[in-house]
Amino acid sequence: MTETPAARHYSEQQAGSLTSGDQLLLPDGERTAEIQRVEVESDDFGTPAVVLASLTGGGTIRIAAGSIVKIADTVVRDVSLQDLMVEDSQHRNAASDAVTQLPVATPGSQEEQRSQETPEKQPPAAAEAAPVAPAVVVPPLPAIPPAVSGPSAEELARIPEPQGTPEAVVEAAAEAHPDAVGVLLLADKLAKGINFKSGSCLKDLSDLAHELFITLKDPDGALAVADLLNVLPFDGNPGRWTSVEASLALSSYICRQDRQEDRAEVYEKMLRMPENQETDPFKARMNAKVRQRSLNEPNLYDKEIFRSIDNSNHEAEREWRLLRLESLLFLRAHGGSETIGLGELQRRISNELEAVRA
């Protein structure tokens, strides 16, 4: 979640020493964002060259490994999450108090009370006393949010099998666009061998799929490459899953545009699978609330884009717009949010595609 760094103290450190949880001062010098994970890309000689800092609110910052960045010395506690926890605790206490205050009836308690009374003090209609109303049962809070069911085998069959090995799929994409420098550079890196346990390798595949669709307007080639990632299950590693997540969101959008609704639904189900991994009921409720809040308040990099426009820095503007487009595609795959509907999302995505393709 991006915050305004008012009255904060900062320390300087090399980008290569960044870790998850650090509050990074963004390039605009006005806001900070929490780092969710850090990946390091090496050059062809094996020396760390670029640090990829993925932010909690969405998006990735690219930093030269030797650059000096500013980190907040003290991390402010996430007030919104604290509020959610207090709210959940209040619900639990209210339910517990309601149960505690209910009268408890024990077998034989009425008979013992009557036996202690003298016959003279008993009312004439004591034998016909009104029946005691049953105790009210207060239902507990739901243990866990509604589960997100994964795709069935029949649904998974809607994703075509790759034409050959993963390396062959990448090579075919490069051959289809021999003049595209961006595609050729990524294809050369992947031609050495695709390791699906490598976060940087998954990032290259995701970047290649986005390059094919966004820059070269090749949805079929983009889907062929993206499907290499789309079938990978969530393994609990958020660093690797970010690339798969971006690929699934892109694939969902392409299929929706091509009227392949059934296939798009499969991608969207797979995108939501990690949301159902938490087994602890309390943590699951907290995660659901935080997730919904992040969907309602996405980071769309407005200030960064406007600043790049004011500075006539078209390259920086395009990079920020690509991050915004990635956030919008993610929202579209979730069916929108409580603040941005599908119609508005579709309009914004079209505008960003037109801007980055210009």
**What is the tens place of the pLDDT at every residue in 212-224?**
999 999 999 999 9
Q: Cα 139 from chain centroid?
A: 31
Closest CA to 32 of 10, 16, 51: 10
pLDDT of residue 143: 43
Please state, in angstroms and as integers, the Cα–Cα distance from residue 348 to each residue in 99, 159, 300, 324, 341, following that order.
50, 27, 11, 10, 11
Has residue 166 got a pLDDT over 90? yes
Identify the burial level of 260 via C-beta atoms within 10 angstroms of its C-beta, where 0-12 means exposed, 13-18 middle and 19 or more buried.
Answer: middle
pLDDT of residue 131: 54
pLDDT of residue 223: 97
Closest CA to 166 of 205, 116, 215, 122: 205
Tokens standing for residue 205: 């595949």
Q: Output 66 or 193, whichever has higher pLDDT.
A: 193
- Domains, the chain, with CATH or none: 10-72 (2.30.30.30), 153-296 (no CATH), 302-357 (no CATH)
With cut-offs at 50, 70 and 90, classify the pLDDT of residue 28: confident
How many Cα atoms occupy the beta-carbon half-sphere of 112 within 13 Å? 5
pLDDT of residue 30: 75
Closest CA to 76 of 22, 27, 30: 22
CB 299 within 8 A of CB 58: yes
Spell out the residues 6+ positions from residue 3 whose beta carbon is closer than 8 angstroms to its own: 23, 31, 32, 33, 76
CB 48 within 8 A of CB 16: yes
Has residue 1 got a pLDDT over 70? no
What integer is the mean pLDDT of 136-158?
Answer: 61
Closest CA to 186 of 202, 199, 197, 198: 202
Cβ neighbours around 140 below 10 Å, total = 11
Give every strand in the sheet of 60-64, ordered side by side.
Answer: 10-14, 68-72, 23-25, 32-42, 48-55, 60-64
Q: Determine if the pTM surpasses 0.85.
A: no
- Cα separation, 310 vs 321, in Å, equals 15
The Cα angle at residue 233 between residues 231 and 236, in degrees rounded to 5: 150
Cα radius of gyration rounded to whole Å, the chain: 28
With cut-offs at 50, 70 and 90, classify the pLDDT of residue 280: confident
Q: Cα 167 from chain centroid?
A: 29
Has residue 225 got a pLDDT over 50? yes
Q: Give, for 115, the enclosing helix (H) or strand (E).
A: helix 109-116
Spell out the residues 6+ positions from residue 265 whose beta carbon is closer than 8 angstroms to its own: 155
Place of tokens 């034989």: 108
Q: What is the DSSP string of 249-274?
A: HHHHHHHHHTT-HHHHHHHHHHHHGG
- Cα separation, 207 vs 211, in Å, equals 6
